[in-house]
């Protein structure tokens, strides 16, 4: 589904809600080769969507945010659903 990039930007700045969009989860920045990306999950009309935000640069220089919007200023976001995942962790044996 397409959303206006300006609304996504305002949602991220508000860190809560903007219009009919509600921020659900803002992931950690993950390092790629020359850029970083972050997964954003938000809610719109009882459905959940994912937007991937990308940036280039470093903490020592300015970040340049890559905008993937179309001619109408919209970005494509995919519908997602939350699923429970079980993971195994290994811990040291005491004694």
* Nearest in space to 25 (alpha carbons), one of 10, 6, 12: 12
Q: In the chain, where does DSSP find H-type helix? A: 5-14
**pLDDT computed for residue 68 by the predictor:** 86
How many structural domains is the chain composed of?
1
Which backbone phi and psi does 6 adopt, to 5 degrees?
-65, -35
Q: What is the mean pLDDT of residues 48-70?
A: 89
SS3 11: helix
Does the residue 53 lie in any domain?
A: yes
Above 90 in pLDDT, residue 33? no
Does the residue 95 lie in any domain?
A: no
pTM, two decimals, is 0.82
SS3 58: coil
pLDDT confidence band for 80 (50 / 70 / 90): very high
Above 90 in pLDDT, residue 26? yes
* Domain of residue 13, residue span: 2-80
pLDDT confidence band for 30 (50 / 70 / 90): very high
């Amino acid at each position: 589904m397409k959303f206006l990039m300006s609304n996504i930007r305002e949602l991220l700045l508000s860190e809560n809600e903007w219009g009919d969009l509600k921020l659900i989860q803002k992931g950690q920045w993950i390092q790629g080769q020359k850029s970083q990306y972050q997964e954003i999950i938000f809610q719109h009309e009882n459905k959940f969507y994912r937007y991937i935000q990308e940036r280039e640069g470093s903490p020592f220089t300015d970040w340049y945010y890559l905008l993937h919007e179309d001619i109408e200023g919209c970005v494509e976001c995919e519908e997602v659903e939350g699923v429970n995942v079980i993971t195994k962790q290994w811990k040291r044996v005491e004694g």
